[in-house]
A and B are shown apart, each in its own frame.
Chain A
Amino acid sequence: MADVIRIETPFTHEMVRTLKAGDNVLISGVIYTGRDAAHKKMIEALARGEELPFDIREQIIYFVGPTPPKPGQVIGSAGPTTSGRMDAYSPTLIGKGLTGMIGKGLRSAEVISAMKEHGAVYFGAIGGAGALMAKRIVSAEVIAYPELGPEAVRRLEVKDFPAMVIIDSQGNNLYETGKAQYRQS
Chain B
Amino acid sequence: MSYADSNAHHEEGSYFSGPPGMLAKIWQWMTTVDHKKIGVMYLFAIMFMFFIGGVAALAVRYELLDPVRTVQMMDASGEEMTIVTGERLAGLKDIMNARSANEVYNRMFTLHGAVMVFMFIVPSVPASLGNFFLPIMLGAKDVAFPRLNLLSWYIYVTGCLFGVLSILMGGVDTGWTFYTPYSTTTDADHWRVVLMILAAFILGFSSILTGMNFVVSVHKLRAPGMGWFDMPLFLWGVYATSIIQVLATPVIGITLLLLVFERLFHIGIFDPSMGGDPVLYQHFFWFYSHPVVYVMILPAMGIISELIAVHSRKHIFGYRAIAFSSLGIAGVSFLVWGHHIFTAMGELAAILFSGLTFLVAIPTAIKVFNWLATLYKGSIAINTPMLYALAFLFTFSIGGLTGLPLATLATDLHLHDTYYVVAHFHYVMMGGTVVAFMGGIHHWWPKMFGKMYNEKGGMLGCILVFVGFNITFFTQFFLGTQGMPRRYANYVDEFQTLHQISTYGSWIILLGFLVHLGVFIASLISGEKADQNPWGGLTLEWETESPPIEHNFHHEPVVTHGPYDFDKVVPPGWDPKDYPLPANPSSHS
Tell whether A pairs with B: no
